[in-house]
Amino acid sequence: MSEVGDLEADVRGLVAREPRLQRDKPEVVGQMQRLCRAAARALPALGVGVTLISEAGPQVTVAASGEPIERIEELQFSLGEGPCFEAYRTRRPVLIPDLAAVAPTRWPGYAMAAHDHGVCAVFALPLQVGAARLGVMDIYRDEAGNLATQALRRALTFAEVATATMLDGQFSPESMDNLLHGAVDNRYEVYQAQGMIMVQLGVPLADAMVRIRAYAYAHNKRLNEVAADIVADKLVLEPDAP
């Protein structure tokens, strides 16, 4: 009991002592932002992000340790590939101490994009309770190398505390709504854009998403940016030439 209990108490203490910032959101999201920063400090890491993933597909990045990390976190979802999906699917941590050494076929787009953002190592930890999956905690480093045993234990404990924090008090529809609406990046514009493109091009939903992603990739833009432009009527996608 003592060692496991100590580690959790330790991590909770670190999160409680993490200073609040002006830009922190209220309630659970704010707690998660502090948790990400505390984790980045303690492990240490370039950054830490927490994203909720749903089996049907939608994702919400609840919090990240900093704005640049939010962008790095978004990469996996823009490109539709990356260690977080694998961690979510397999329900196991996916530890990549050296992104550059990863076979090019594994995540062809992601490895390069992450490297461009200075990421050399990624550790994706699934957030789960029993059989149910919430999402993933991603830990980024700017140097290749394994997480030392103690750091890995801490990281797993941070993931557990993150899960507990998000589930704690999520009993009312309002607090759940707060978590989703208040999240750092809830991608609602991506889904709006998806609906618009579906009508603009007369294609099914899935195809609309593929088209938006393809445009983002081809023009080296973030998915969120492209979506925002579509929603603001600044961008119209052309139907494929016959």
Partner 1 sequence: MTMLSVERLAEVLVEVADTLVDEFDLIEFLHMVTGHTSEVANADAAGILLADHHGRLQLMAATDGRTTMLELFQLQAHEGPCQDCFRQGHPVIEADLTTADQWPSFAPHAVAAGFRAVHAFPMRLRDEVIGALNLFGKTAVRMTGADIRVVQALADVATIGLLQERAIRQGEVLTEQLQNALNSRMVIERAKGVLAQIHSVSPAEAFELMRAYSRRHRLRLGEVAQAVTEDPARHPELTTPDPR
CB of 201 to partner 1, least distance (A): 10
* Residue 50 CB-half CA count within 13 A: 34
Query: Residue 31, class by beta-carbon neighbours within 10 Å (0-12 exposed, 13-18 middle, 19+ buried)?
Result: buried
Q: How far is the CB of 30 from partner 1 (least distance, A)?
A: 18
Closest by alpha carbon to 137, among 38, 213, 17, 56?
A: 38
In the complex, what is the shortest distance from the CB of residue 9 to partner 1, in angstroms, rounded to a whole number? 16
Distance CA(11)–CA(239), nearest Å, equals: 52
Nearer to partner 1, 46 or 196 (CB): 196
Minimum distance, C-beta of residue 187 to partner 1, in the bound complex (Å):
9
- Measured from the CB atom, the residue of 19 and 173 that comes closer to partner 1 is 173
What residues make contact with partner 1 under the rule CB under 8 A? 52, 54-60, 128-134, 163, 166-167, 170-171, 173, 176-177, 179-180, 186, 188-189, 191-200, 205, 231
Indicate the residue among 40 and 209 with the shorter CB distance to partner 1: 209
Burial class (CB in 10 A: 0-12, 13-18, 19+), 233: exposed
User: How far is Cα 86 from Cα 36, in angstroms, rounded to an integer?
Assistant: 21
Q: Which is nearer to partner 1, 133 or 141 (CB)?
A: 133
